[in-house]
Amino acid sequence: MGMRLNGYWRHEVWPPQLAKSLEPAISSVMRSLRLLKLAPFILFAVTVAACATPQTTPSAALTTLEPAAGRWFKLDWAAQPDGTDTRRVDGYILNTYGQAAQVQLLAQALDASGQVIDQKIEYTLATVPGFGRSYFNIGHLAAADHYQVTVWSAYFYQGRRLP
């Protein structure tokens, strides 16, 4: 608060003892405000860590988040050389369901015993139209004994509009 003196507002000055006694409280508030600025980043990190559980990480046993994907999609693909020590998997995905979908594919490179030695999750190059097909290409997989490609996840668009 201030007081008016000669037409101007004059602010009161706090006594030095009061200012000194408030310093610890003010610095504590300032530290708290700095921590609050970090809160969104901390929340994001915790959310990401919670989503990356063993139940949602692909493995030789867990190859899809969509158990019914085999009913909705058919895959036709082949592994081709993509350099000296890498391969690429490319092909087509056929949507046997009537609605367009955005699809993530899981490509895995497996050794002779069936253990995963490399894997990638990629979106198809375009939305897969209802009762239509779309091309996909997943590159830079390690050379392996054999490969497998599965639908990792799919989001079906509702209505007639495509993105």
Domains by residue range for the chain, with CATH: 2-51 (no CATH), 57-156 (2.60.40)
Residue written as token pair 């608060």: 1
Interatomic CA distance for residues 147 and 138, integer angstroms: 12
Pick from 161, 160, 139: nearest CA to 149? 139
Q: Is 37 exposed, middle or buried (0-12, 13-18, 19+ CB in 10 A)?
A: exposed
What are the backbone dihedrals phi and psi of residue 107, each rounded to the nearest 5 degrees, phi first? Answer: -110, 130
Evaluate if residue 28 carries a pLDDT over 60: yes
146 has pLDDT over 70: yes
Q: Which amino acid is at 67?
A: P
Lowest average pLDDT, out of 28-32, 33-37, 84-88, 136-140, goes to 33-37
Q: CA-CA distance, 101 to 155, in Å (whole number)?
A: 5
Task: Give the integer Cα–Cα distance in Å for 9 and 1.
Answer: 9
Q: What residue type is assigned to position 12 of the chain?
A: E
Least confident of 107-111, 124-128, 146-150: 124-128
Q: Which of 84, 128, 129, 82 shows the shortest CA–CA distance to 105?
A: 128
Q: Model confidence at 117, in pLDDT bands (50, 70, 90)?
A: very high
Of residues 22 and 1, more confidently modeled? 22
Mean pLDDT within 1-15:
57
Q: What is the pLDDT of residues 56-99, one digit of tens each?
A: 788 888 899 988 998 999 999 999 998 889 999 999 999 999 89
pLDDT classification of 147: cutoffs 50, 70, 90: very high
